């Protein structure tokens, strides 16, 4: 039997979320498209938030799920039988997504699975790495001689941002609420545990690690809690990247901003469709194949009939990488 999760309408809370598991049949793909039998699909925070109506572009009814990995079973002959993976800001948001037995996508959205990652790991790479890549693409990529600080480095986008900066030869500083950076990076990462430090103390440690210059790039994955700290720690001409926030409004010192010649870069990964996301995964492919980048370890595995439990875990703020595994 083949199934798909269906969201019929948005919910005002996780307690009122209605996720139905419906029987589905694969549909013959149109020209230029492929039918993928899904084998693994991550549950991202944005998947859950979109189901709660927090993403205004999300359509109902639909099948959620932005990341996927699986096997092409219908489509262009040169794709049949290949193991593929991918992601997209449209998948599971404005079109049916990956939390299902099958998904139909344009072949321009497909990336063949590197042999350095399992199909389960491939299903969990997309959103965090695409988001991290887009931040650096917009701000200017890290390079040797630069200092990059990642605020909220223990989150999945933060971990990806650390990995990409390290791969590119930058000195990387992980700012997080724990003492150890418990994720992969291909070069040493300096850690600042922010738990009992003031904004000034964190900024000063970043300057101490950078010979008082400050960070050339700050990837702020948390937003408002680190906004003031990041501004104090930015080098002259530096850039701060934002992907999320807790508070919408923050105090903003315009004088310090223009005197520092700073740049702010806002990233919305939902604006990156499956084809564009695939271009970014293709750019990251040499890193994964060489081992300079690594996928996330899979912490929790669920089946579709335990979807609500999986969604609750992700919405709770768990740092675990959670996937659906399908037969």
> Exposure string (b/e) for 127-152, b if CB count within 10 Å is 16 or more?
bbbbbbbbbbeebebbeeebbbbbbb
pLDDT tens for the 327 residues of the chain, in order: 799 999 999 898 999 998 999 998 888 899 999 999 999 999 999 999 999 988 889 999 999 999 999 999 999 999 999 999 999 999 999 999 999 999 999 999 999 999 999 999 999 999 999 999 999 999 999 999 999 999 999 999 999 999 999 999 999 999 999 999 989 999 999 999 999 999 999 999 999 999 999 999 999 999 999 999 999 999 999 999 999 999 999 999 999 999 999 999 999 999 999 999 999 999 999 999 999 999 999 999 999 999 999 999 999 988 889 999 999
Backbone Cα Rg of the chain: 20
Contact 216, 149 (CB under 8 A): no
Residue-range domains of the chain with CATH: 3-125+295-325 (3.90.180.10), 128-269 (3.90.180.10)
CA distances from 291 to 68, 92, 131, 148 (A): 21, 30, 20, 21
pTM, two decimals, is: 0.96
Q: How far, in Å, CA of 45 to CA of 267, rounded? A: 16
Q: Are strands 3-7 and 19-23 parallel, antiparallel or unpaired?
A: antiparallel
The H-or-E segment that residue 204 falls in is: helix 199-209
């Amino acid at each position: 039997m083949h199934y798909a999760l269906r969201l019929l309408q948005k919910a005002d809370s996780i307690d009122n979320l209605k996720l139905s598991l419906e029987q589905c049949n694969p549909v013959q793909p149109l020209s230029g498209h492929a039918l993928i039998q899904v084998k693994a699909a991550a549950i991202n925070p944005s998947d859950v938030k979109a189901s709660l109506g927090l993403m205004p572009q999300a359509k109902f009814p639909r099948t959620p799920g932005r990341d996927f990995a699986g096997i092409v079973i219908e489509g262009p002959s040169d794709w049949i039988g290949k193991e593929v993976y991918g992601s997209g800001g449209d998948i599971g948001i404005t079109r049916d997504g990956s939390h299902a037995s099958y998904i139909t996508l344009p072949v321009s959205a497909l990336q063949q699975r590197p042999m350095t990652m399992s199909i389960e790991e491939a299903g969990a790479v997309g959103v965090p790495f695409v988001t991290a890549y887009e931040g650096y693409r917009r701000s200017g990529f890290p390079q040797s001689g630069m200092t990059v600080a990642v605020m909220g480095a223990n989150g999945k986008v933060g971990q990806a941002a650390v990995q990409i900066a390290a791969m590119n030869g930058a000195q990387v500083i992980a700012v997080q609420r724990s003492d150890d950076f418990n994720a992969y990076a291909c070069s040493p990462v300096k850690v600042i545990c922010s738990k009992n430090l003031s904004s000034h103390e964190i900024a000063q440690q970043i300057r101490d690690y950078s010979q008082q210059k400050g960070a050339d790039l700050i990837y702020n994955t948390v937003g408002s809690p680190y906004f003031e700290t990041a501004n104090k720690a930015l080098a002259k001409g530096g850039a701060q990247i934002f992907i999320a926030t807790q508070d919408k409004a923050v105090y903003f010192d315009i004088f310090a901003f223009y005197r520092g010649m700073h740049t702010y870069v806002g990233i919305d990964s939902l604006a990156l469709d499956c084809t564009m996301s695939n271009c970014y995964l293709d750019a990251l492919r040499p890193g994964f194949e060489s081992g300079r980048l690594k996928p996330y370890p899979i912490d929790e595995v669920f089946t579709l009939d335990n979807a609500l439990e999986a969604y609750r875990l992700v919405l709770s703020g768990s740092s675990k990488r959670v996937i659906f595994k399908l037969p």
